[in-house]
Amino acid sequence: MKLYDNDSYRDEFMNGVYALLSSDPTSDRANQIIDLFDLAPAVEATAEPSNAPLTLDELRKMAGEPVWIAGADDDAIGRRRPSGVDIEMRLKAEQHSKLRELQVKLDEVLDREPADSGDDEEDYIWKFANDLKNMLDAFFEEGIHET
């Protein structure tokens, strides 16, 4: 539906009607048409609601609700179609992706681990890094945490 600004267009419309019906000596028909124009129902335009990205906390509160996801589900004119993706599953997948990245980076760092650094604090850090890597390996080896 198109919205028209009848107030700003009224004068132009009125002049056009009088010009078309200039052969009418009393302008009765022109006045009737202009009266009909003036009786057109008015519609007030409302501002679109904000479409700002939601915070992580807002997304978590939406558990089980449908979400709009930008990307492949766009239709030809850019509107979003609802996706059946559960928001909790999407957040979990993103978290697992970050954990996988950490696991890879730990592998890279631990490849450079010295046999014995000779420094108790440094050895503690290497042990901690190895423990973290082992926990991540165990987490993903269980298989139930894959997304």
The values of phi and psi at residue 67, to 5°, are -130, 160
Question: What is the band of 72 on the pLDDT scale with cuts at 50, 70, 90?
Answer: very low
Helix (H, G, I), strand (E, B) or coil at 79: coil
Report the C-alpha gap between 53 and 98 in whole angstroms.
Answer: 21
Question: What is the band of 147 on the pLDDT scale with cuts at 50, 70, 90?
Answer: very low
Structure token pair of residue 35:
């009266």
Distant-in-sequence, close-in-space partners of 3: CB < 8 Å, separation ≥ 6: 43, 45
26 or 68: whose pLDDT is higher? Answer: 26
Residue 67 pLDDT greater than 70, yes or no: no
Helix (H, G, I), strand (E, B) or coil at 23: coil
Report the C-alpha gap between 13 and 11 in whole angstroms.
Answer: 5
Residue 32 pLDDT greater than 80, yes or no: yes
Q: What local confidence, expressed as pLDDT, does residue 6 receive?
A: 76
Residue type, 105: K
- pTM for the full predicted model: 0.39
The whole-number average pLDDT for the span 122-133 is 87
The distance in angstroms from the start CA to the end CA of the chain is 44
